[in-house]
C-alpha cells in the first residue's frame, strides 16, 4: 500500500521539469510519512474507542503540558520517521518500483486516483468520528 502511495507521488514529481529523482524521492517520502501518521492515528482512535466503549478505559494523550511543548516533543519523532521512510525507499527499491509499475499503462486512472484519495480520506474521517464518540 505504501509503495503504491510512494510511486503515485514519485511519478507525479519526476515528470515535472524542475524536480529530479532525489527531490521526487524526498517529497514522496514525506507524503508516505503523512499517510503513515494518519493510519497510525486511525488505529489509535479505533483502540481508544473500543477500550472506552467496552471496558470504560481511557487512553487519551492528555497532560498538563501546553501546545508548544507537545509540538516540540513530536517534531524529532516526525523527523526520524521521515528519515526512516526515506532510507526505506532507497534508489534500488525505487528503481525496482519504476520497473514494476512501468508495465502498467494509464497509472493515473480513475481507479488509482480514487484508491489514493480513499486511502487518505477514509481513515481520516473514521478516526475523527471515532475520536468524537470516544470523548469522555
- How far is 86 from 53, CA to CA, in rounded Å? 38
Average pLDDT on 84-103 reads: 91
- The pTM (predicted TM-score) of the whole model is 0.83
Q: Tell me, what's the pLDDT at 64?
A: 56
Taking the alpha carbons of 107, 4, 119, 35 in that order, is the dihedral positive or negative? negative
- How far is 112 from 89, CA to CA, in rounded Å? 21
Average pLDDT, the chain: 86
Is 28 exposed, middle or buried (CB count within 10 Å of its CB: 0-12, 13-18, 19+)? buried
Lowest mean pLDDT of 62-66, 87-91, 93-97, 106-110, name the range: 62-66
Amino acid at each position: 500500500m505504501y509503495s503504491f502511495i510512494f510511486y503515485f507521488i514519485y511519478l507525479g514529481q519526476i515528470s515535472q521539469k524542475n524536480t529530479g529523482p532525489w527531490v521526487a524521492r524526498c517529497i514522496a517520502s514525506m507524503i508516505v510519512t503523512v499517510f503513515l501518521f494518519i493510519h497510525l492515528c486511525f488505529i489509535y482512535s479505533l483502540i481508544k474507542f473500543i477500550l472506552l466503549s467496552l471496558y470504560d478505559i481511557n487512553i487519551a494523550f492528555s497532560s498538563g503540558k501546553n501546545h508548544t511543548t507537545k509540538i516540540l516533543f513530536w517534531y524529532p519523532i516526525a523527523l526520524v520517521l521521515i528519515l526512516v521512510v526515506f532510507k526505506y525507499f532507497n534508489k534500488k527499491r525505487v528503481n525496482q518500483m519504476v520497473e514494476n509499475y512501468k508495465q502498467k499503462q494509464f497509472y493515473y486512472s480513475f481507479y488509482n486516483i480514487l484508491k489514493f484519495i480513499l486511502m487518505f480520506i477514509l481513515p481520516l474521517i473514521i478516526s475523527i468520528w471515532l475520536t468524537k464518540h470516544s470523548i469522555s
